[in-house]
Amino acid sequence: MVASRRGSGSIVLPSGHTMAFHTRTHEEEDLPHATKKTMADHLRKYESLFTLTPQRMRMIVEAFKDTLELGLQKPGQVVPMIPTFVFGYPTGQEQGDFLALDLGGTNLRVCLVTLQGEGKFEMLQTKYRLTEDQKQDEGQKLFDFCAECLKTFIDNNYVDDDGKSTLKEGEKLPLGFTFSYPCSQDRIDHGELIRWTKGFGAKNTEGKDVAQMFMKSLEKHNVPVTMTALINDTTGTLIASHYVNPRTKIAVIFGTGCNAAYMENVRDIEKIKNLGIDDDAQMGINCEWGAFDSFEHEHLPRTKYDIIVDETSNKPGEQAFEKLISGRYLGEILRLVICELIDEGVLFLGQNTYKLETPYVFETAFLSLMESDPTDELLMIIGIFTHFFAVETTLAERQFFRALAMLIGKRAARLSACGIAAIVSKMGYIDEGCLVGADGSLYNKYPGFADRVHEGLVDVFGRKAETSSPTTPRMVVVSGALSLLLSTSQLDDVPRPIRGMLQITKITRSPESQTIPENRMFVWRQARKEAIACGGGDYPIVLVEYRLREDMGTMTTTVPIPLPMLQIVRERKPFECVSAIRGKFEKPMTESNIIEMLNMTIRQDKRGVLKVQVPLDESDIEIIQRWAQADENSPGSMRRLHEKTKREDIYMAVMISDPTSVRTIRFNPDLDYWTGNAFFIPFQTQVTFWLFGGENIVLNGGGALDGAGQAWYDAFASNSSLLRPIILTVFQAENVLIEDISFINSPEWNNMVNEAKNVVYSNITIHAESTSDNRIANTDGWNTYRSDNVVIKDSNIVNGDEISRYLSRVLGQFPGVFDIVQNVTAVNIRMVNAGNGARIKAWAGPNVGSGIVQNITFQNFVVDNVDSPLTIDQCYETAADLCAEFPSNTFIQDIFFNNISGTASGSVVASLACSPDERCSDINVNELDLSAQSGAATFSCENVHLEGDSANLFPADCN
């Protein structure tokens, strides 16, 4: 039982589910809640605590200026004012291709940036989310992860149309490393970590040269790069912003942490006078201002909640400024206020509040959602508190929570303005004017943050900053990932990767034969067959592998599809063999000719499965089929075949990959039985054949789940209200792995993930096909509901519907319901003859619900004859004029469509349509290679700003 402050708790039911109970102190029917008057009284108290007056801001600015000056004069200061050895600004005319790695507070980004001159650039990037374990584990492991991600990026992008690497033998790419943490530097490719910030605590790293640690990881993983520059992300933003607009003089980062950089005159950097650098030069200064007012705490207006945040952090006393303004801490400040009001008996009386008692469980993203809630009833806030914390709220309480979020967010923005004002005042920029380059999730995504910073600057500088004249410091958003490129612009151009259809590129020897598990193969002795077939799907495909004697070698070749490895095992002198894989191949069997021959044999059948053709004659096929149906002692068994053929010289291994004949669970198509016995799921009024929950679950085995959907398709054609079962539902489970399973002919969705966390699907095959005139419907691959961290990878879909709607039919559909889909990844997916591919959709209009779709990645999709390969529809089932009047209350953020290729059945290959009023943000499109089956391909978009290297495929007003 989990005890609560309010005399509440929870019990675990025999089913494994958790049920909360509440101990009330009175006999009223409704739970007791704070009144509107009570909340208004409390709000006045917090207004006085979190409001920052102009007079106090000016005092902070003066103290900030003194601290900056001290950091320039003496080494080892609280705000270290680190010289970066980046001299001067770019001209804006630099050109070339550059490789970059950006280690931030939340994500790792690998980027290829093309500088085009005249302040223009293009960027291809891949983003990886960092786990809390990675942030706290051994530092060398963190750099190992960085090296692995970088190697994957290079392997996937630096290839030509034939899949061959574009890098020459022994060639190494110059790399710039953007490292977002304070380092002392005496040269551009060196950096000793002073201290971790942003909640990082990776061991055995502080005080060490992180450049050397990273280079050690590069060598360990054989990554073909040379690190030529280590640069702070804020310095990078300064350089990159100036490249785009030469009036940029300052750069700031407001994200998980906070920082600033600017160009200082070398003559005013007293602590490096001994280096003999020209006094007339300018050098970039990495302020590391998050440490302002640390240890002594003399200048910043800290509340008791700020003190608790500081004292319970992994760096007590340090990073005082950062802990008041950065995205890592704002949610925790609000949570502490809520907990205090719970303890005082003001909030959530009689409700179980234990979920709110975990530090940092209230994310800063929640404050952003609360402030941007567009509904009169504040449905977004209802959803946050009911879904994440299982507590009910009144309208008065929700209004209080939003007002409190505004106070905390506004204080952070006004304190941020103090830091900017200190640099502007110190450098005398207020009279001549300047731009401030800004980046970071807080600045980019928190509603009103930029405007509040500007308001703060007006309050500090008075009339000089009242107008929107060019003299007013303003923000210009430029990606910090561009940073290092200009610090390495003197290097030779990096070869650009050439992308195209992958093909077989090389043949290598391995020390021993690849094997197939005994329960999936039989040994069939046959003389001198030199071919194999490889494929996948839900119908028989033959996989043949030569298994030779110990004194013979093994050759392995990969197929250009995410299917099983193509295994070739040949005789001792394989390159001298003259027989053919496909008919007669007259060329000598050199390695290059074998590659050419294999690529000639690759084809795609009408169901979209890529195979290598095999010249098996009728007698061969007859023997294979006979064995597939035989037991050991039957006439077609292995022993009897051996006796019959009497061929002992060489042999092959054959696998029949037909999931309907190997470990298949078939759900009886007894519609009457399932109508009364399937598990009911309230969400979308669904039912399911199989439902399981719990923790640490693995479901695998290589077999199939057959939904026997034909009977359901036929019945549904005449009864559209028929509840058709989902094959498999993961319900309120955590840490689940489902792998090597085939789903066949599901009556409804194939998979449902309901209120689950950390669920991985790997190597899943889905096929649905109707054998009558009644078409299949709604056989989605996956749907998720209020689930977190769902990964779908290495899977194949031959289907008449989409791989995953991600609640697209439901998001924001029902009034009063808050829908959540976050941290979902679908990677290495192949789809054939489907209705929709990577798709997100949400309702708009009056009387609908609300929700959030956040951090969704679709990566490495191959589509063939798919109706709508790429879709966002945020006005689902809503007329354009009604959507304009009532935009969707379901916000869509941080969406990545990466490496999506193939063909659409129609002309529209991508349609990204969002609601008006900025309901979509951070939508990224990279490496799109989509075409129509006939005619020109159409890329359409509406009410969305697209980022990524494929944004130029869409109309210009979306770029």
Query: What are the residues whose beta carbons fall under 8 Å from the beta carbon of 724, sequence distance 6 or more?
Result: 687, 709, 712, 716, 747, 748, 778
Q: Please, are residues 762 and 562 in contact by the beta-carbon 8 Å criterion?
A: no
Separation of alpha carbons 859 and 900, rounded Å: 7
The total number of residues written for the chain in this structure: 959
Separation of alpha carbons 44 and 49, rounded Å: 9
Q: Which residues of 906-944 are buried (b: 16+ CB within 10 A; e: fewer)?
A: bebbbbbbbbbeebbbbbbbbbbebeeeeeebbbebbbb
Output the CA torsion 797→824→558→948 (10° steps). Answer: 110
Separation of alpha carbons 249 and 821, rounded Å: 40
Nearest C-alpha neighbor of 644 from the set 543, 521, 526: 526
Give the C-alpha distances (Å, rounded to integers) separating 752 from 130, 675, 684, 775, 920: 26, 18, 11, 22, 25
For every residue of 826-865, DSSP letters joined together read EEEEEEES-SEEEEEEEE-SSS--EEEEEEEEEEEEEEEE
681 three-state secondary structure: strand
Tell which phi-psi region holds residue 406, choosing left (phi > 0), alpha (psi between -120 and 50) or beta.
alpha
Separation of alpha carbons 878 and 844, rounded Å: 6
Element (H, E) at 174: strand 173-179
Q: Please, are residues 402 and 370 in contact by the beta-carbon 8 Å criterion?
A: yes
Alpha helix stretches (DSSP H) within 893-939: none
Q: Please, are residues 781 and 728 in contact by the beta-carbon 8 Å criterion?
A: no
The residues carrying an active-site annotation are: 180, 195, 233
Separation of alpha carbons 902 and 603, rounded Å: 15
Give the C-alpha distances (Å, rounded to integers) separating 785 from 501, 513, 594, 755, 770: 35, 45, 49, 6, 28
Separation of alpha carbons 9 and 931, rounded Å: 56
Separation of alpha carbons 293 and 108, rounded Å: 29
For every residue of 315-363, DSSP letters joined together read STTS-TTHHHHSTTTHHHHHHHHHHHHHHTT-S-TTS--GGGGSTT-S-
Q: Which two tokens stand for residue 842?
A: 């949400």
